[in-house]
Amino acid sequence: MSEMPYFPALLAVLSAFLFALSIQIQNLGLGLVDPRSGAIVNIGTTAVMYWTLSPFFIESAYWLTSAAAMFAIVGLFRPFMSANLAVASVKIMGPTLTSGIAATNPIFAAIFAVLWLGESPTWPIAIGTAGVVAGVAVTAIRPGGVARSWPLWALILPLGAAFFRAVGHPITMIGFQELPSPFFAGLVGYSVSLIVALVAFRMQKRSYSKISWGYGWFALAGALNGISVYSINTALKFGQLLTVAPIVACSPVFTILMSLLIFKRETISLRTVITIALVVSSVVLVVLS
């Protein structure tokens, strides 16, 4: 891949775009379907898509590797946990702020990259990470106690989604050391996550929402997420976590553009713009390092 040094970066940008689009698509379905039911349809659609294409990408011997276990571990918390937290966040805070705050992913990714993968951080990476934190602070802190349209505790939702997405990356990269198959990583992860989601849904004795077009939006979002995950897994196969993760965090740029130009359903405040600007500029600094 030395002939295409920007290939991982391009894949990361594609993943960021698809992730932002999936958030907007999910938002279309939230008025018709409850988040838990929608998340199962989302994850299930991705799993079915991967299994349908699996004969073209995997071999039976893949299941006998320790890498399969690593990918399964990722599936225990991603995308089930991250998807549920993200969907709940979108419902409370809206898609733009959800993407902006979830851009803290590079903070967690940097920690895991250094501790688990032995990657070397630089001062620009540290400064860029601090900038992302500042962007979150701008969103959360309201001088003079001005009322928010969402409670402060809701920050746990997008931050939790960011954490679970980030911790899955280094585990996946460790699995790639034995079996560098981005498709197989996605297949195993989503299959396990679907099982976890169904078990949790059953244990909580929840019932599915009535059949509506809302499920279709979640299914479409699931297909987009599947391509997004394959893109980022491929980027991780050829690149470094310290550079790939920050690029993926640029998804708020696409989200805000979609909100303004396509969906026209969310008012972009000055505070939101400042948040996005801080996050994106910090991510650029990290990438340039």
Helices (H), 118-150: 123-140
CA dihedral 255, 256, 260, 261 (to 10 degrees): -50
According to DSSP, residue 177 is labeled T
Question: One digit per residue, pLDDT tens: the chain, 289 residues?
Answer: 555 667 888 899 899 899 889 988 988 888 788 877 888 899 999 999 999 999 999 999 999 999 999 999 999 988 778 877 877 887 888 776 776 677 677 788 888 999 999 988 888 877 877 787 777 667 655 555 445 677 888 889 988 988 988 899 999 999 999 999 999 999 999 999 999 989 988 887 777 667 778 899 999 999 999 999 999 999 999 998 988 887 887 777 787 778 777 877 666 677 777 877 887 788 777 667 6
pTM: 0.83
The residue to which tokens 């006998």 are assigned: 64
Residue by residue, what is the 3-state secondary structure of 7-75? HHHHHHHHHHHHHHHHHHHHHHHCCCCCHHHHHHHHHHHHHHHHHHHHHHCCCHHHHHCHHHHHHHHHH
Buried b (16+ CB within 10 A) or exposed e, 58-96: beeebeeeebbebbbbbbebbbbbbbbbbbbbbbbbbbb
Query: Domain-by-domain residue ranges, the chain?
Result: 7-288
